[in-house]
């Protein structure tokens, strides 16, 4: 009707035509769908390898502008600017990336640096660093909420829960079927040949050993501490567990087997050493269920 009126101007006065067009314009605007503007793109610095891995799993890497030194998986994470170690951050290094959000666990620091970053107007979200499966679920949900990927996070959790249930069944079934005692495993954290620590209670390593159906050979303390030759002999591990990075830092398998007192243990005599990537083993990220199963199978094969 608008086109007909324009083609036949004599049918309407100029005032009528203008009024008619104005009314049609209002009607046309009212009929248009409402305009939804996309949220401004976030600029996220991810502090913690497991959080970075979750971020990629949720396909939210378009928001990522920087990572910390523990963010080594997936390989694409290595292509982002690195702000250093999660516990030893520099405010200048982080703020140089102009982040709108910092995504970290409660282990990040130092606290004074986090205060500086927050004072600069950057939003900081600290998620629990709980070294249990429930902690992994909390982190997936937390990252999903922050990065507006809640539905994707729920789908990821459904798959994780299904895999985790299967892993628990396998570990429980094989543990019941085994006629031997639980394997005694000593987790050795080797930063260098001169700095060798073992994991006690309340550590990520302890949780992974328990989930995998093994017994921690280190008893009577929490956290990490050096071990004496006498302590090594008293622990009598059947197996030594190390990270692949720690194995390289220590000087390889031969260096681990030369740890004082290890030759007087079942692990030393059998040269039973298992190595796994540090983030996969201790990060409690999306690969945690698969890592538990791999550990269990390795221990079961001893």
Q: What is the pLDDT along the chain (302 residues), one digit of tens a residue?
A: 333 333 333 333 444 433 433 444 333 333 444 444 445 678 999 999 999 999 999 999 999 999 999 999 999 999 999 999 999 999 999 999 999 999 999 999 999 999 999 999 999 999 998 999 999 999 999 999 999 999 999 999 999 999 999 999 999 998 887 755 689 999 999 876 677 899 999 999 999 999 999 999 999 999 999 999 999 999 999 999 999 999 998 889 999 999 999 999 999 999 999 999 999 999 999 999 999 999 999 998 88
Spatial separation of the C-alpha atoms in residues 227 and 197, rounded to whole Å: 6
Flag whether 117 is in a domain: yes
Q: How many Cα atoms within 13 Å fall on the side-chain side of residue 112? A: 2
Say if residue 186 is in the same domain as residue 135: no
- Total structural domains in the chain? 3
Flag whether 173 is in a domain: no
Say if residue 22 is in the same domain as residue 48: no
Say if residue 154 is in the same domain as residue 212: no
- Supply the pLDDT for residue 219: 92
Say if residue 17 is in the same domain as residue 79: no
| Strands of the 123-127 sheet, one edge to the other | 64-67, 44-47, 101-105, 123-127
Give strand pairing partners of 273. Answer: 240
Say if residue 248 is in the same domain as residue 293: yes
Flag whether 51 is in a domain: yes
Flag whether 72 is in a domain: yes
Spatial separation of the C-alpha atoms in residues 235 and 266, rounded to whole Å: 10
Say if residue 242 is in the same domain as residue 274: yes
Q: With beta carbons less than 8 A apart as the criterion, state whether 150 and 157 touch.
A: no
pTM, to two decimals:
0.82
Domain that holds residue 92: 44-158
Q: With beta carbons less than 8 A apart as the criterion, state whether 196 and 190 touch.
A: yes
Flag whether 133 is in a domain: yes
- Supply the pLDDT for residue 22: 40
Give strand pairing partners of 124. Answer: 102
Say if residue 184 is in the same domain as residue 291: yes
Flag whether 226 is in a domain: yes
Say if residue 22 is in the same domain as residue 50: no
What CATH number is attached to the domain comprising 245? 3.40.50.1980
Say if residue 202 is in the same domain as residue 132: no
Flag whether 166 is in a domain: no
Flag whether 91 is in a domain: yes
Say if residue 189 is in the same domain as residue 103: no
Say if residue 110 is in the same domain as residue 197: no
Say if residue 225 is in the same domain as residue 194: yes
């Amino acid at each position: 009707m608008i086109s007909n009126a324009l083609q036949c101007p004599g049918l309407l006065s100029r005032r009528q035509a203008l009024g008619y067009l104005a009314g049609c314009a209002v009607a046309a605007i009212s009929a248009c769908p409402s305009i939804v503007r996309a949220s401004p793109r976030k600029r996220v610095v991810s502090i913690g390898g497991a959080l970075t891995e979750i971020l990629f799993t949720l396909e939210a890497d378009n928001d990522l502008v920087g990572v910390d030194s523990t963010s080594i998986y997936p390989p694409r994470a290595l292509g982002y600017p690195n702000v250093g170690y999660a516990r030893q951050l520099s405010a200048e290094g982080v703020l140089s990336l102009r982040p709108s959000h910092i995504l970290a666990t409660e282990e990040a620091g130092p606290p004074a640096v986090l205060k500086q970053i927050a004072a600069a107007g950057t939003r900081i979200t600290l998620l629990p660093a709980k070294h249990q499966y429930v902690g992994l679920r909390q982190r997936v949900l937390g990252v999903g909420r922050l990065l507006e990927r809640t539905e994707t996070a729920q789908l990821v959790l459904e798959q994780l829960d299904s895999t985790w249930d299967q892993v628990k069944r396998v570990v429980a079934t094989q543990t019941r079927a085994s006629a031997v005692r639980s394997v005694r495993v000593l987790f050795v954290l080797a930063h260098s040949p001169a700095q060798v620590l073992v994991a006690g209670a309340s550590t990520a390593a302890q949780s992974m050993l328990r989930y995998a159906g093994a017994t921690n050979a280190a008893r009577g303390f929490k956290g990490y501490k050096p071990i004496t030759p006498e302590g090594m002999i008293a622990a009598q591990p059947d197996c030594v567990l190390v990270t692949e990075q720690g194995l390289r830092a220590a000087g390889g398998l031969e260096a681990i087997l030369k740890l004082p007192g290890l030759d007087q243990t079942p692990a030393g005599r059998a040269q039973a050493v298992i190595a796994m990537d540090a983030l996969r083993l201790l990060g409690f990220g999306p690969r945690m269920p698969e890592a538990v199963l791999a550990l269990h199978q390795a221990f079961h094969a001893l």
